[in-house]
Structures are given as C-alpha cells and as structure tokens.
Amino acid sequence: MSTAAEATAQAALEIRFGPLDLAQVRIRSIDPGVILDELTGRVATAPRFFDRAAVGLDLGLLERDPEPSQVRALIDAVRRAGMLPVGLVSGPPFIESVARALDLPVLAAFRNPVKPPPVLQAVPEPAEREGPALLHEHPVRSGQRVYARQRDLIVVAPVGAGAELMADGCVHVYGALRGRAMAGAHGAASARIFCQEFYAELVSVAGVFRVFETIPTELAGRPVQAWLEGSDLRVTRIGG
C-alpha cells in the first residue's frame, strides 16, 4: 500500500480518557459581581497559572437551584476574570438540566484513565512496587508529571520549574522543589507536602493551594512542610 493510501486508511482521530489539568471553581454566590471581584483577585495572585486556565464550575454549594440565565451570568463573570469555563462539575440533580440548557458538558469528578495522559517530555511510568509509597529517583524536568495513585510519592532528586508532582497521599521531596506539588489529589485533607529546599511555584493539599508569591520569603530554600488546618493551607519551616 502506498504512503498516501496508508495515510487515508488511518483513523482521523482518537478518543482517550485520562486525568486532565483542570481546576474546579466552587461557586457559593449567585451574584456575578461578587464572583468577578473575588476571582479577579485570585487570578492576580498567580496569573501565569490561572490566566486562560480551563476550569469546571462546581455549583454544589449554592443554597438554591439556579436558573440557566443565572449560571450563564456566572460563566460570563468567570470569563471576564480571565478563566475559561468548559463545563459544570457533576453534583446536584439540577446540574444536568442546566448543562443541557446552556449546551455544556457535565464533568465527572474523576475517571480512571485508560492510559496515562500525554504530557510534554513524559516521565516513564515507574513499575508497580510493594509498599505504601512510590519512589521516583530521577530529576523531574519542566513539563513532566509524576503521579502516585492511592499512595504517597517520594522524590529523591530535584524537581524543576514547570514540573508537576501529584499524589493521592503525601508528597516528599528530598531535594529542591521548584515546580508544583499537589498532595491529597482526590480530597485527602490529612495529606501533607514535605520538601528539603522550598522554591515551589505552587503547593496544594486537597485542592486548597498557595503560590510562592503568597508565602513568606524567609521560607525560600528552607526545608518546609505544608498541610491543611481547617480550610487554610499552612506552610512552615521544618525544625523551627
């Protein structure tokens, strides 16, 4: 078969399921002005992460079921703040009808991936091993992601700017952390982040995040830990 014929015979597309880098915006007010003001301030703290970021809107905390027109106004407010809403997060029964009225998808909270998602300079998936933690022994470079599913993640090498660490449990970095670290990726509020040299662009526990610019400067380059205290993400130096 000729090269042209082979190209014609190949499928024009593929459909894959996998975890995406998609933030969720939990809406507690139906007032678009309030949402715009607060979200604009949040985006301003870390524009490189949130400007034009794809987000799902979580309406599960609203006190009453909203009308489609009200949700449309909220979506417009989120767009004006700089983010790009792509759908509504599944939850209360009204979500399905509102999503249909606005021609939006309903985003499941989590789907088991068929295969690891494609990422820039993808890190080979480490072999499964016995024990509670996943050990990663090589540098994690910009554009790479390492994910420890249903366990802790231990990294004994530097983590570069633009790299990403994710774990359903705790994240331990025995070296410099310059990228993003997310512990409790599926809601474990008891998870923590530990690192030997703290320069992280962003740290997150159970979805609550802080960026480097909002963390005291005296912690830069120090051994630190991050954990949730109520709804507040605390970051402090280890060992005083």
pLDDT value at residue 40: 84
On whether both 88 and 149 belong to a single domain, the answer is: no
Q: Which of 107, 122, 141 is the last residue of a domain?
A: 107
Q: Which residue has the tokens 């830069």?
A: 220
**Structural domain contains residue 2:** no
Residues 6 or more apart from 185 whose CB is under 8 A from it? 147, 166, 167, 168
Domain count, the chain: 2
pLDDT value at residue 116: 41
User: 60: domain CATH number?
Assistant: 3.30.70.260
pLDDT along the chain (240 residues), means of 10: 56 62 82 89 71 86 92 94 90 92 82 40 44 87 89 94 91 94 90 94 87 83 92 85
**Structural domain contains residue 8:** no
On whether both 142 and 230 belong to a single domain, the answer is: yes
**Structural domain contains residue 7:** no
pLDDT value at residue 162: 86
Please check whether residue 143 is in contact with residue 163, taking contact to mean a CB–CB distance below 8 angstroms. yes
Note down the domain range covering 217.
Answer: 133-237
